[in-house]
Structure 1
Amino acid sequence: MAPFLQELVVSPVTILVLVLSYIAYWRSKHRLLLPVDWPLVGLLPSLVANLRNLHDYVTAVLAASGQSFAANAPAATNMRLFITCDPDNVRHIFTANHENYPKGHEFAEIFDVMAGSFFTMDGEPSRRPRAEQSILGDPRVVASMVSSCHDKVRGGLVPLLASMASRRTPVEVQDLATRLMFDVTAMAVFGVDPGCLSPDMPSMRVSAGMDTIMEVGLFRHTVPACWKAMRRLKVGPERKLAAAHAVLHGFVTEMMEKAKKYRHGHGDDEAEEKRAAAAPPPSAVDILSSYINDPDYNADGHLLRTMLITYMVAGPDTVGTTLSWFFYNLAMNPHVVSAIRHELAPIASRNKAAATSTAATTNGDHHTAVMFSPEDTKPLVYLQAALFETLRLYPPGPIERKTVVADDVMPRGHEVRAGDAVLISLYAMGRMEALWGKDWREYRPERWLTVSVSGDGGGRKKQLRYVPSHKFLAFNSGPRMCHGKHIAVAQMKTVAAAVVWNFDVEVVGGQAVEPKLSCLLQMKNGLVVKVKRRAV
């Protein structure tokens, strides 16, 4: 059971929840999957009893109940829950009747550190989400973000992996991917490289703070009757969350100051100046520059910081988390590695003569890596299929929450009332046999591909199969489609191509690889691997 549950305030209601949770746990052990909708406490005991494997439990319940079920939240919340992974319901919620299903006030409260940003505001009439769309749709911003990722992979990630391979040092993939994408995102947001991927590996208190937001976010989703009281009392996970908020706001303020100083040509000290000189130059089209002249944000320093925090949470979380599961899946499926390398081979052959010489000179050794530009990786359909297959099984955001504005009827006949909370399980959607076939457990990129035959020469060409977004919700759907999708895909392909072509990755045995209890589907214990350089 999650440690934070031990910190709940003892009360008669708490005792009742614990007793019923034990009963719910016993029922799940005896394969009585459908949860009991208890008086007063609703679905809460079943969720608490299955917190350790919550996403798999919800998946099993949805599979047993026709992909949707309704239940009550604790009576104190006066709220009902509708939980689904049915694509027809998803299309209704996200597209056909999307204005009736905003994220809502409760969602904004759960993620209060980002309240007022595009992360919490969908469905509300505001020009701010349109400003975000304009920024991420600016070709200069997109090019800058993709280019900075390529530069960081070439000058930071590949040399670091080569050095660790030479020293036979185990690599913790999740931490490394988080550090990489933290630097890449900070460069895109502030135009400044914080240097978290450097060999000395500075403290990542900010990243830990982001993890806390997502972990406590799931707690707030699960126990709506308790967390607000705990916030008022400043106890349990709410106390930890308050400290995380302070760290994030402090980091954003510090980075804004550094960005301002770098733009004027000087750093804080000699070490900062050296790091700035070694890093790519500050971008003239970073996200901070795009917001700084907007009167809506400039007039309210808090709102600007909130927006910058949102970008910092969204970037490293989505891409970094997906890359961790991607390399885990590749290590478990060497035939997929071979297929990706086969697709990369013609490009690698072309690029080899002009390959970047990387600075892995440990013990007098020298390693030349073959690099792949964003333009190189853009047409690679098998690589993209492998990434999408990872997103199917391990979506970085495993749940979506919406609020019902007006009474409605779902396509399958389920009735929802105004004020109900709707939870969409992306994790379960990717694991439904009815949607993906009997082989849904298999990591099989081929399910994303189709073969077309050209009319003139009869040549056969692989291309990505169309899968509607209401069936594959990793990048959202309908009017809420993620504006940064193409940036995220380009960044993931850039990192994946460089690592897969230049290194062999082997998972160290004896590890328990399972999801963390969080709104972000990170690995609970990380992933330790051995890295070996390839002769390419």
Structure 2
Amino acid sequence: MSNAIKTVQNFAGGIIEERVRTAQAKKADEASKSVQPTHEGGSIAKLAKKDGKDLLDLFLETTQDREELMTIVLNFLIAGRDTTAQLLSWFFYEMIAHPEHLDEIRKELTEVLGDCPAEGYRLPYDQMRDLPYTFACITEALRLHPSVPKNAKRCMKDTLLVPSGPNPTKLPPVQVYKGEMVGWSDWVMARLPEVWGPDCEEYKPSRFLEEEVDSATGVKRRTVRQYSQWQQHMFNGGPRLCLGMNLANYEALSLVAAVVPLFDFHWATAEQGQTVNWPPTYVSSLTHPMESYKVEFRRRAQQ
């Protein structure tokens, strides 16, 4: 275990040192910019070509403490990998169970991104919100199969929890005292009629869709329906909202856009090596992985 921890820390430490040096070089270049001419091959020109900032860039603007940065990077690497992969596993399971959604996803991708190239779509980040139906299908899979199905926090001060919101429960207020643990389960919340209605156990992407009318043209368009963070709680909420939420959504959308238009897929048979009975279920873990099932992919004819 100690060797494994050391390997992970060395890997993360290498990322941090490289980025700290880059940040320091950028500051030095900016400081000398007013007194030294730049040239096309210089470091300033190279740095200027980098568009935008990632999360580590933003944290480097507030601290260069190696221990703090180590914690941040390890969170990126550990919390941001398996959780997105698990989401995609559950998404493809739901598509196998509900294939009627696939043609609508493909239609939306074509309308937004044009004809599908032979290698699949490469989704631009700024078009992520232009795919409400695809986004709704992914989000509904995440609602029913949250990557972090249960969690808990320790109360830092005496607190009275009072049910509130548009549909408050009929439970009485609950007194929580400093030092006590408060636990919750997003998996259970997804299956509570008080939270999601009588159809809460159904896979129903339409719950994340609504129509709005363009005030200028009067044209109706489909958009993503927004819920409170405390109802749509798969990424937590408030100051504890997942820092990687947009990245995870983009990764999932990008893979769906790359794969679904090009392939038909079906539950593999026992003859094809399937070892899992339908429907697959989850396995015990801190997160929410599922049994390792096999799927047959067949490339679709060019449409």
Counterpart Cα distance in 1 of 2:90 and 2:79 = 17
Q: Which of residues 157, 178, 191 in structure 2 aligns to 1:418? A: 178
1:532 aligns with 2:283: no
Query: Is the counterpart of residue 434 in structure 1 residue 230 in structure 2?
Result: no
Q: Does 1:491 align with 2:242?
A: no
Q: Work out the CA distance in 1 between the residues paired with 2:95 and 2:276.
A: 16
Alignment partners' CA distance in 2, 1:408 and 1:262? 45
- Alignment check: 8 A CA contact 1:503 1:532 kept: yes
Change (3 A) 1:293 1:440: closer
In the alignment, what sits opposite 2:101? 336
Distance 1:486 1:257, change over 3 A: closer
* 2:231 paired with 1:471: yes
For the residues of structure 2 that align with 1:320 and 1:332, how far apart are their CA atoms?
19
In 1, are the aligned partners of 2:20 and 2:60 still within 8 Å (CA)?
no
Q: Name the CA distance, whole Å, in 2 between partners of 1:478 and 1:369.
A: 36
Shift of the 307–369 alpha-carbon distance from structure 1 to 2, 3 Å rule, reads closer
Does residue 519 of the first structure (1) align with residue 286 of the second (2)? Answer: yes
Instruction: Kindly indicate whether the alpha-carbon contact (under 8 Å) linking 1:252 and 1:308 is maintained by their aligned counterparts in 2.
Output: yes
- Residue 453 of structure 1 and its aligned partner are, at CA, apart by 3.9
How far apart are the structure 2 equivalents of 1:260 and 1:413? 48
2-side partners of 1:522 and 1:315: how far apart? 14
Change (3 A) 1:292 1:372: closer
Deviations 1:80-133 (A, max 9, x none): xxxxxxxxxxxxxxxxxxxxxxxxxxxxxxxxxxxxxxxxxxxxxxxxxxxxxx
Secondary structure in 1 aligned to 2:260?
A: helix
**Worse-superposed segment, 424-433 or 486-495:** 486-495
Shift of 1:446: 0.7
Q: Residues 290, 508 of structure 1: CA spacing in aligned structure 2 closer, same or farther, 3 A cutoff?
A: same
Counterpart secondary structure, 1:501 = coil
Amino acid aligned to 1:498:
A
Q: Distance in 2 between matches of 1:466 and 1:288?
A: 28
Amino acid of the structure 2 residue aligned with 1:375: D
Residue 500 of structure 1 is matched in structure 2 by: 260
1:130-149 equivalences in 2 (<5 Å): none
Q: Which residue of 1 aligns with 2:212?
A: 452
Paired position in structure 1 for 2:28: none
Relative to total residues, which structure has the larger helix share, 1 or 2?
1
Root mean square deviation, CA, Å: 3.1
Give, as a single letter, the amino acid of the residue that structure 1 aligns with 2:184. Answer: I
CA distance in 1, matches of 2:148, 2:155: 21
Maintained 8 Å contact 1:406/1:417: yes
- Quote the residue 1:100 is aligned against: none
Match of 1:406 in 2: 157
Deviations 1:204-240 (A, max 9, x none): xxxxxxxxxxxxxxxxxxxxxxxxxxxxxxxxxxxx5
> 3-state SS of the aligned residue for 2:265?
strand
For residue 313 of structure 1, the aligned residue among 71, 75, 78 is 78
Structure 1 residue aligned with 2:39? none
Aligned-partner residue type, residue 406 of structure 1 = K
Report how far residue 405 of structure 1 moved.
Answer: 2.3
Question: What is the CA deviation profile of residues 356-408 of structure 1, one whole-angstrom value per residue up to 9, with x for unaligned ones?
Answer: xxxxxxxxxxx543443333443111111111101111111112211122333
Moved more, 376-385 or 424-433: 376-385
Higher RCO (C-alpha 8 Å, min separation 6): 1
Stretches of structure 1 that go unaligned for 5 or more consecutive residues are 1-239, 264-282, 356-366
Work out whether residues 136 and 206 of structure 2, in 8 Å CA contact, stay in contact via their aligned partners in 1: yes
Structure 2 counterpart of 1:344, which letter?
Answer: L
| In 1: Cα distance, 2:257 partner to 2:224 partner | 18
Distance 1:410 1:489 in 2: 31
1:375 and 2:140 aligned: no
Q: Within 5 A, what are the aligned runs for 1:206-225?
A: none
Counterpart residue number, 1:166: none
Give the 5 Å matches for 1:195-214.
none
**Unaligned regions of 5+ residues in structure 2, if any?**
24-49, 163-171, 270-274
Given the two structures, how large is their TM-score scaled by the length of structure 1? 0.44
Aligned residue runs from structure 1 range 105-116, under 5 A = none
How far apart in 2 are the matches of 1:535 and 1:262? 47
CA distance in 1, matches of 2:90, 2:267: 12
Which secondary structure does the structure 1 equivalent of 2:130 belong to? coil
State the SS of the aligned residue for 2:81. Answer: helix
Could you say if the C-alpha distance between residues 436 and 304 of structure 1 is closer, same or farther in structure 2, counting changes exceeding 3 Å? closer
> How far did residue 246 of structure 1 move?
3.2
Following the alignment from structure 1 to structure 2, what is the Cα–Cα distance between the partners of residues 343 and 294? 41
CA distance in structure 2 between the partners assigned to 1:294 and 1:453 by the alignment = 42
CA contact (8 A) 1:378 1:490 kept: no
SS at match of 1:378: helix
Q: Does 1:481 align with 2:229?
A: no
Deviation at 1:294, TM superposition (A): 6.1
Distance 1:305 1:368 in 2: 37
- Give TM-score scaled by structure 2 length: 0.74
Percent of aligned pairs with the same amino acid: 27
Paired with 2:249 and 2:60, the residues of 1 have a C-alpha distance of 27
Question: Does the CA-based 8 Å contact 1:322-1:395 persist in structure 2?
Answer: yes
Change (3 A) 1:370 1:310: closer
Residue 345 of structure 1 and its aligned partner are, at CA, apart by 2.2
CA pair 490-415 structure 1, distance change in 2 beyond 3 A: same
Per-residue deviation, 1:303: 3.7
Equivalence map 1:5-84=2 (5 Å): none
